[in-house]
Structure 1
Amino acid sequence: MLNSMEKWQNVAEKAWAAILSRVEAMKAEGMTLQQISDIVGTKNRTVIGEWLNGNRKAVNATFSDMMKYLENLGFLPAAFFQKSAIPGVGDSNTPSICKPGHPPIPVSGDDLKTINVYDVAGAGPGVALSEVEPLFSVTAPPSYFRMSDYALKVSGHSMEPLIPHGAVVGVRLGAEFMANELFAARIPYEGLVIKRVGVDFARKEFVFKSQNPDKESYPDFRVGINEGEEIIVGRVVWVMVGY
């Protein structure tokens, strides 16, 4: 059985792989070391350069710094921990919820609202939510209930570790597009998928990005901006785990 130090080492290794993958992606997109450093929250750009050169690893950072890096890059820190690793967050008895890029909070209170959860992923043409029965329902604080139009159960591992398999995400229809934010998109013969959507202005394309660092299994894909505007359904505004 793993002791606490071994458990933290496993968590740190997974977190570091996710951080490095995102930093490498930002560098490939043409961002400078200073810009990346400002986003990640490191002390200076030299640290980012050492990460990219393999001379230094965030895995050796303090717990607080590691959590800061994850949150600044839009990851859900609780997704890296096994159940009960953080009391009250992500365990089987206490669901947690957060806006993408923010620390998770336990779902609690006497004024929780019920939200229907749908699962429309899978082969075949897109299906309108009004035509399918919800899988189940979850409860969330009123503010989260108001910011989303519906919720989806995430099936698959393409967005891990940011959004774990089985998590529930809230989606806002018609939300203003913001580059590199999380969106639900309707892909022909696949249904609704969750991706981080960037923009390649030079090629006039949307880039739909998986978060999983295994790009061979979970490759990114591109579509023309006009086509992309048609398939983007809404923005992911919250993530719930441990429900």
Structure 2
Amino acid sequence: MLEVERSTYYAHVNREQQARPATANSSGRPVPGLSYRQDGKTISDEQICEWVMELLAGEGASYGYRKLTVLLKRRYMLRINKKKVYRLCKRMDVLRPQRQLTIKYPKRMASNRVITGSNQLWETDIKYGWIHGEQRFFFLMSIIDVFDRAIITYHLGLTCEARHLVQITQEALMKRQLFDKTDKPVIRSDNGPPFISHRFEEVCERFKLTHERIPPKTPNKNAHIESFHSILEAE
């Protein structure tokens, strides 16, 4: 209505928040300290904490906050969500320990490299476009050689999954006759779903390829393939 750009408005809001004194409460609305039952009766957080402790001492001994939320709704007819139950369990220090995830393939961060020839550094990325009249998207996934700026191979289709990435990676190695070579190129990508998949990492390990990923919000580290896709879109 005021024709103010969204970025201008949020920049102004951020400046106001930064200018607030340190004692100001900027954590959002205050916690109400109560919940409601289905009949509209109010129940204090202290009573809910007692019920949680009773459930943990009985049938809910091995339950996490999500299952405790379901029990509270069924047994005490509470109108409560899992986020509040999580906050109360955290305050009482009764949260179950989180399982430790084992990383099968460690992440390699992209680093600056001096490229002196072809097949030293490849970059890959996904570009999507809109099909006019079909009301759906198509996907283009390309692999570019940073030195000679050639698109070695690409996938174009209505879906873009890890299996397509594996396919074009094998095609790129075949076109450049690198299967029996000792020195394989480094493949650089962002953190999209196909690039972080176990399927692709297994193929990189099998073919002795080094796969490195750029940090989030740093497309400049994948600039060559980003530039190609931008020019292709403009044309």
Q: Same fold (TM over 0.5)?
A: no
TM (norm. structure 2) is: 0.20
Bigger Rg, which one: 2
**Structure with the higher strand share, 1 or 2:** 1
TM (norm. structure 1) is: 0.20
Structure showing greater relative contact order (alpha-carbon pairs closer than 8 Å, 6 or more residues apart):
1
**Structure with the higher helix share, 1 or 2:** 2
